[in-house]
Amino acid sequence: MSIVWIANLSEEFDYENAKSFGELRSFTSGYQNLGNLERLNIMLCKEVYKTDKDDYLLLGGVILVNVLAALAWLGRHRKVKLLLWDNRIRTYRVLHIKLDDFDRLFEMLTINESKANA
C-alpha cells in the first residue's frame, strides 16, 4: 500500500480523507525555522530518500516546506503524485507532475525561439 507523506503536518487540518490513499506519515510538523534553508533541505532530503515513487505527497502547512519537499521528491523520482484538498468537492485531488514534461516544454520553447530568431 502507498504512503501519503505530509510535507508539513499542521494541527489546523483534518487529514482523515487522505487515509484512503495510504498510510499517513509526515516530513515535518508545525513551525519550521526558515532561516537555515540548508538544514531544512538536508532534513527533507533524508525524509524523501525513504519514499517510493508511487507514494503521494500531501501539501499543507508552511508553503516553503511544501515547495522544497516537492523539489526534493522530483529530484529523487523525477515525478510526484501530489494530493491537494479541493474544498469545492470536499475531497483530495491527485495531480501528477513529471520532470520530463518540463524538459519537453523547455525544449519546445527553445526550438520555437530559435525559429523566430532565424
Higher pLDDT, 48 or 105: 48
Collapsing DSSP to helix, strand or coil, 41 comes out as helix
For the chain, list the strands marked E by DSSP. 3-9, 23-29, 56-58, 79-86, 91-98
pLDDT of residue 36: 86
Residue 114 has pLDDT above 80, yes or no: no
Report the distance separating Cα 75 and Cα 81, nearest Å: 13
Higher pLDDT, 104 or 28: 28
| Domain locations in the chain as residue ranges | 3-117
Residue-wise pLDDT for 19-59, tens only, equals 999 999 999 998 887 888 999 999 999 999 999 999 999 99
In whole numbers, what is the pLDDT of the chain averaged over residues? 91
Residue 88 has pLDDT above 90, yes or no: yes
Q: Is 85 left (phi over 0), alpha (psi -120 to 50) or beta?
A: beta
Percent of the chain scoring above 90 in pLDDT: 67
pLDDT of residue 60: 85
The pTM is what?
Answer: 0.87
CATH architecture of 3-117: 3-Layer(aba) Sandwich (3.40)
Residue 118 has pLDDT above 80, yes or no: no
Give which of 75, 92, 69 is closest to 7, Cα–Cα: 69
